[in-house]
Each structure stands twice: as structure tokens, then as C-alpha cells.
């Protein structure tokens, strides 16, 4: 299940890396920062929106893992591992929490595999490209236990799932 990076180049911006740049992350390039800065000229608060999205994700995961006791999270449209990832928040509040990250960007898959290696058994990654949701869910059967799973897709639109 190797990441297919044909067409990938540092000369072209990646939305995942632009988002990372908006959050002050380290996995972005000059071209991504140029896009971030260009967007900021048009929408000066866009980086604030990225942070609001991130804070919302943290609050939800903290509540579900810590207060409700949820120990399985499916993060659809996870993007690049960046500032305070879902598994870090979940496992801080519920040490048994398990997170499966899903994204269709091959660059995110490449970075995500390194994250999985660091957290074997607690973090998984599904890299299936533009799969129909039914097939994606079928792929998850072997990764998650047979009880409640919380699905997060804070930056994924409904149309991206179909």
C-alpha cells in the first residue's frame, strides 16, 4: 500500500501543507507559505479559522475521550500530522484510545506512515485515495474493535465522502 506520489513536486503547493503553514507547523515549503500569505491578503483571518478548526477538534476529542470514555476515533480527511494531533489529545485523556487516520492525499499518507511507526498498535492509517465510503468502511473492519467509534471529519465536506 505504497503512497503514489506521481505529479508531486515541491514547486506546487499542497492544501495539507498550506494548512500546516497556517498552523505554524514545520511540514511545509516556501510555495505553501506563499499560498498562505496570498490567502491572508484576501482573507486576513484564514489562519484564525484554521486554528478555530483545530481547537474545535481538540475540545471534541478531549470531551469524548475524557468525559464519555470513547476509545476509538476515525479521523477522516486527517491531513498532515501537525500541531497536537488527534491521537495525542485522545491518549492524553484516555490512554487506551486508538485512532485511525484516513486521507486521500498521498503526501499525507507518506507522513502518516511515519507517525504510525512511532505509535504501533495505537495509531493506524488507511490510505485508500478516493474510495467510496462503503469500501472505506469495509477496510476499517479489521482495524477497530466491535464497539463505539467516533468519526471526526472537521475539515472534510460531505461531498468529499461520496
Question: Above 90 in pLDDT, residue 120?
Answer: no
SS3 (DSSP) at 51: helix
Could you tell me the domains of the chain?
67-161 (3.40.50.150)
Gap between the Cα atoms of 70 and 108, Å rounded: 25
Residue with the bigger pLDDT between 86 and 83: it is: 86
Question: What pLDDT is stored for residue 68 in this prediction?
Answer: 92
| % pLDDT > 90, the chain | 36
Nearest C-alpha neighbor of 90 from the set 127, 56, 58, 65: 65
Q: What would the pLDDT profile of 103-119 be if each residue is shown by its tens digit?
A: 878 888 788 777 777 77
Gap between the Cα atoms of 98 and 140, Å rounded: 13
Gap between the Cα atoms of 127 and 7, Å rounded: 17
Nearest C-alpha neighbor of 79 from the set 58, 51, 105: 105
Q: What would the pLDDT profile of 135-157 be if each residue is shown by its tens digit?
A: 556 666 566 666 655 566 555 54
Joined together, the cell numbers standing for residue 145 give: 474493535
Amino acid at each position: 500500500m505504497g503512497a503514489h506520489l506521481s505529479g508531486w513536486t515541491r514547486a506546487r503547493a499542497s492544501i495539507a501543507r498550506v494548512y500546516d503553514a497556517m498552523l505554524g507547523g514545520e511540514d511545509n515549503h516556501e510555495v505553501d507559505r506563499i499560498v498562505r500569505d496570498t490567502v491572508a491578503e484576501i482573507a486576513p483571518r484564514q489562519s484564525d479559522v484554521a486554528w478555530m478548526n483545530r481547537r474545535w477538534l481538540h475540545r471534541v476529542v478531549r470531551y469524548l475521550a475524557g468525559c464519555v470514555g470513547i476509545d476509538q476515533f476515525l479521523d477522516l480527511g486527517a491531513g498532515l500530522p501537525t500541531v497536537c494531533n488527534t491521537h495525542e489529545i485522545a491518549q492524553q485523556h484516555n490512554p487506551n484510545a486508538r485512532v485511525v487516520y484516513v486521507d486521500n492525499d498521498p503526501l499525507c499518507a507518506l507522513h502518516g506512515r511515519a507517525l504510525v511507526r512511532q505509535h504501533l498498535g495505537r495509531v493506524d492509517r488507511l490510505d485508500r485515495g478516493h474510495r467510496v465510503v462503503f469500501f472505506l468502511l469495509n477496510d476499517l473492519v479489521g482495524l477497530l474493535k466491535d464497539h463505539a467509534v467516533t468519526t471526526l471529519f472537521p475539515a472534510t465536506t460531505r461531498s468529499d465522502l461520496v
